[in-house]
Amino acid sequence: MEWELLDYSSPSLSNKKLSKGKALDEYFLIQNYFSNIGSAYLAEHNVETSIGDDASVISSSSNTQQINSLDTSIEGVHFLSSMSSTDIAYRSCVIALSDLAACGARPKWYSIAITLPQVEDSWLNSFSIGLQKFSDEYRIPLIGGDTTKGKLSITVQVMGEVDTNKAILRSTAKEDQSIFVSGIIGNAYLGLKELSDNLGTDSYSKAYLEPKAHIDLGLKLSDIASACIDISDGLLQDLNLICQSSNIGAEIYLEKIPTSISEKSLELINSGDDYELCFTVDEDKYDELMNISKTLNIPITLIGKTSFSKDLILYDVDNQRVELNAGYSHF
Ligand code: ADP
Ligand code: MG
């Protein structure tokens, strides 16, 4: 076991504790902060060997398919430097797990690759509290990872399962279906604004800091939805991905998009970070969806329908077509 020095550009790394060859420190770091996270859930998810060996060993069953996804969160890009390490850990894990919700998968395990600028006991302690909170909320164990030195970044791999052929994909939406979103769109954007502009209020910051992965909703949708995506980059971009993969178009209405404030700016509805689900269903599934909404206590709102054209069209409150330019892009 070695620290892999990722930060080649700064050869004079001050914290020698993190340099190569201090295997014992790293062993205790993993033992102290990572080895017991979610260990209560190892058995129920068939993990035979977990953290501490070269790899984890998991028994598999038939009739299911494995679902696997991975997301990296980088300080200053995907989360604010000012966030507590509890929030950084929790949020990095939830946003990775959200992809499993979108597939209608049952979460089973997760692994974390963490790159740290230095080892700081209190920081790591609070980080592991965020992991534990995540493990307990979704009842899954941490089964492995990697620890390296460099600019702070957290890569979370989440793994789950579906009954064979039950995964909800992006590519299987059809024309003339209803388009729904869960929750309220734009609260994470309002929360991020509160946090980054130091507005001194915290009405929405929780929506940014502690998003939810809608696992239960995804599971219920697996028998109903023809396609689904979690809204990470923005409603328009993400819905557009369903359209492109499914080779269809969509018409949605600004006034129908559920928001907390009445002024529905493009920025508000399209900034992402909400991790709500956007999905397509046959029109006759409306009542069933409203029942699911009641049972799970999650708003589910009809925002438009899919179309034969290949365009994504947004209508404003006066039913005029809104000019859409390219939205958020990663690079
Ligand atoms: P190797 O050198 O064989 O890759 P590592 O030192 O990277 O081994 O890891 C030792 C064990 O600790 C492995 O089981 C690995 O999965 C686990 N591990 C390392 N870092 C983390 C981490 N940040 N979180 C959880 N488990 C970790
Ligand atoms: Mg390793």
Q: CA-CA distance, 162 to 144, in Å (whole number)? A: 22
For ligand 1, whether the C-beta of 57 sits within 6 Å is no
Whole-model pTM?
Answer: 0.89
In this predicted structure, what is the pLDDT of residue 7?
39
Whole-number Å distance, alpha carbon 161 to ligand 1 midpoint, is 23
User: Is 14's pLDDT higher than 70?
Assistant: no
In this predicted structure, what is the pLDDT of residue 9?
37
CA atoms within 13 A on the CB side of 236: 22
Percentage of residues of the chain with pLDDT beyond 90: 83
User: Is 329's pLDDT higher than 50?
Assistant: no
Mean pLDDT of 111-135: 97
DSSP 228: E
Q: Which ligand is nearest to the CA of 112?
A: 1
User: Is 104's pLDDT higher than 90?
Assistant: yes
157: CB partners within 8 A, 6+ apart: 68, 69, 70, 96, 110, 111, 112, 113
Residue nearest atom 16 of ligand 1, based on CA coordinates: 144
In this predicted structure, what is the pLDDT of residue 27?
87
Q: Which ligand is nearest to the CA of 27?
A: 1
Q: Which ligand is nearest to the CA of 109?
A: 1
In this predicted structure, what is the pLDDT of residue 38?
97
Which homologous superfamily does the CATH classification assign to the domain defined by 16-163?
Answer: PurM-like, N-terminal domain (3.30.1330.10)
Q: Where are the domains of the chain?
A: 16-163, 178-315
Q: Probe ligand 1: pick from 39, 147, 154, 155, max atoms within 8 Å of CB?
A: 147
**What tens digit of pLDDT does each residue of 40-98 get?**
999 999 999 999 988 899 998 889 999 999 999 999 999 999 999 999 999 999 999 99
* 53 CA closest ligand 1 atom index: 14
* 23 CA closest ligand 1 atom index: 6
**What tens digit of pLDDT does each residue of 151-197 get?**
999 999 999 999 999 999 999 999 999 999 999 999 999 999 999 99
Q: Answer whether 48's CB lies under 8 Å from 59's CB.
A: yes
| DSSP E strand stretches across 95-188 | 106-116, 142-149, 153-163, 178-182
In this predicted structure, what is the pLDDT of residue 280?
98
Residue indicated by tokens 């509890």: 86
Q: Which ligand is nearest to the CA of 145?
A: 1
Rg of the chain over Cα atoms, rounded to whole angstroms, equals: 21
Mean pLDDT of 86-115: 98
Among residues 311, 312, 185, the alpha carbon closest in space to that of 260 is found at 185
132 in helix, strand or coil? helix
Among residues 139, 117, 155, the alpha carbon closest in space to that of 13 is found at 117
Q: Answer whether 147's CB lies under 8 Å from 30's CB.
A: yes
300: CB partners within 8 A, 6+ apart: 180, 181, 182, 289, 290, 292, 293
For ligand 1, whether the C-beta of 146 sits within 6 Å is yes
Model confidence band, residue 23 (pLDDT cutoffs 50, 70, 90):
low
Q: CA-CA distance, 79 to 73, in Å (whole number)? A: 7
Q: Which residues pair with 250 in a beta bridge?
A: 306, 312
Residue nearest atom 21 of ligand 1, based on CA coordinates: 145
For ligand 1, whether the C-beta of 127 sits within 6 Å is no
CA atoms within 13 A on the CB side of 67: 24
Class of domain 178-315: alpha beta
Residue nearest atom 18 of ligand 1, based on CA coordinates: 145
Q: Probe ligand 1: pick from 26, 30, 49, max atoms within 8 Å of CB?
A: 30
Write out the two tokens for 61: 């069953």
Q: How far is CA 227 from CA 104, 298, 304, in A?
A: 10, 19, 14
Whole-number Å distance, alpha carbon 143 to ligand 1 midpoint, is 9
User: Is 13's pLDDT higher than 90?
Assistant: no
In this predicted structure, what is the pLDDT of residue 327?
38
Q: CA-CA distance, 197 to 261, in Å (whole number)? A: 18
Distance, C-alpha 45 to centroid of its chain = 21
